[in-house]
Structure 1
Amino acid sequence: MGGQDIKDALGRNIKFFRAHRQLSQADLAERAGISITFLSTIERGLQFPKAETLFCLSRGLEVEVYELFKGEIVLDDETKKLLDRFSGDITKNVVQALEAVYKQYEI
C-alpha cells in the first residue's frame, strides 16, 4: 500500500466522521484550527496533515487518531513506521502542551 492509499483512506474517514456528526467543512475546520481549503485537500486525499493537525482533527471529530485510519487498510512495514512516527509526534506534542500548562498555572 502506498502513501496515496493512506491519504485517500484518511480523507474518506474524516469525511465519514464529519458527515456522521453533521458537521460542515467550515465547522470542522474551525474546531481543528485549520482552513476550509486545507481540510478539503485532506478529505480529497491531496495532502497529508502533520501529526498535530491529525490530533486536532480527531478532537474536532470526537474520535481517537487511530480511528481516522480505520478501514480496509493493510499496513506494510514502511506504513507502520510512518504511523509509529506520527504517534510519537502526537505524544511529544501533547506532553509539551501539558508541560506548558503546568508551568503557566504552576500545577
Structure 2
Amino acid sequence: MDDFGRLLGERIRSFRKRKGLSQEELAHRATFSTSFISDIERGIKSPTMESMYKISTALDISLEELFIKFQPIKKTPEGELVDSIIRKVNNLPMKELQSVNSILELLVNFRAR
C-alpha cells in the first residue's frame, strides 16, 4: 500500500493505544473483524470512508483527527528535541499522557514564576 495508507494505519494504531484499546476491542466497537483492523493498522488494507467513520466513532474521535498531521519542525537543536519528545509520548496510553501533561504543566508554571 502507499504511504498514505501506512500513515493512516499508524495513526489509527496510535489513537487505539492512547485509548487503551486492544485490536479486538476496537474491532468489536467498530463491528469489524480483528484481522481487518490489524490489516488497516499495518497498511495492508485501505478502509473506505464508511469504515474510517466507524473506526473514528469507536475511538471517540472525529474523522478530521485521523487526518491531522504534525507540522514539520525545523531541524534545530530545539526542533530535534521536540521531535524526540513527540516520538516518546506518541503511543502512550491516555492515563500516561495525562501524567506527562501534568508534569509539563508543573514545569511551565514553575518556570513562569
TM-score, with structure 2 as normaliser? 0.59
RMSD: 1.5
Shift of the 72–5 alpha-carbon distance from structure 1 to 2, 3 Å rule, reads farther
The residue number in structure 1 matching 2:109 is none
Partner residue in 2 for 1:30: 28
Q: Structure 2: state its 5+ residue gaps.
A: 72-113
The residue type paired with residue 17 of structure 1 is: F
SS of the equivalent of 1:71 reads coil
Name the structure 1 match of 2:66: 68
Paired with 2:7 and 2:66, the residues of 1 have a C-alpha distance of 8
Aligned residues: 71
Q: Which structure has the larger Rg?
A: 2
TM-score of the superposed pair, with normalisation by structure 1 = 0.62
Give yes or no for contact 1:12–1:43 (8 Å, CA) kept in 2: yes
After TM superposition, the structure 1 = structure 2 runs for residues 8-87 of structure 1, keeping only pairs within 5 Å, are 8-72=6-70
Structure 1 stretches of 4+ moved >3 Å: none
Change (3 A) 1:46 1:72: farther
CA contact (8 A) 1:13 1:70 kept: no
Structure 1 unaligned regions, length at least 5: 74-107
